[in-house]
Amino acid sequence: MSPLGSINPLGSSPLTRIDAPLPKIGLAPGAGPHPAVPGEGFGQMLDGLVATVESKQSAASDITRKVLLGDSDQLHQSVIAMQEASVAFSMMVEVRNKLVESYQELMRMQV
């Protein structure tokens, strides 16, 4: 028996072929960053990611404001929205750090 118990995350067979199709993992419509369009530039993609983070932060702020004013009793939704915005912002900062690190690495290369 597997250490995870009787749950088999790979499906009904214990082994899955390498060329087997991956299961579809979808997000709710409108959730997450927008997929890249083939003609879209890198800067536009980053602008889209920043806009997504900004929208998550403003939604969390709106929900929290409603809870604090007593218009809503959905405290758990407020906490979830704030945590989601925090994780999205942290990921954006890490992406920025990797981009800066990559740029610095390119500048150190000798031609």
pLDDT digit string, tens, across residues 20-30:
554 554 445 55
pLDDT band at 5 (very low <50, low <70, confident <90, very high): very low
The per-residue pLDDT for 25 is 47
Stretch (H or E) spanning 108? helix 75-108
Residue-wise pLDDT tens digits, 65-75? 999 999 988 89
Closest CA to 63 of 51, 76, 53, 54: 76
Closest by alpha carbon to 57, among 91, 23, 24, 26? 91
pLDDT over threshold 80, residue 83: yes
Structure tokens of 64?
């929290």
Confidence band, pLDDT 50/70/90 cuts, at residue 10: very low
H/E element, 87: helix 75-108
Integer Cα distance of 84 and 91 in angstroms:
11
pLDDT per residue as tens digits for the range 37-62:
566 788 898 899 899 999 999 999 99
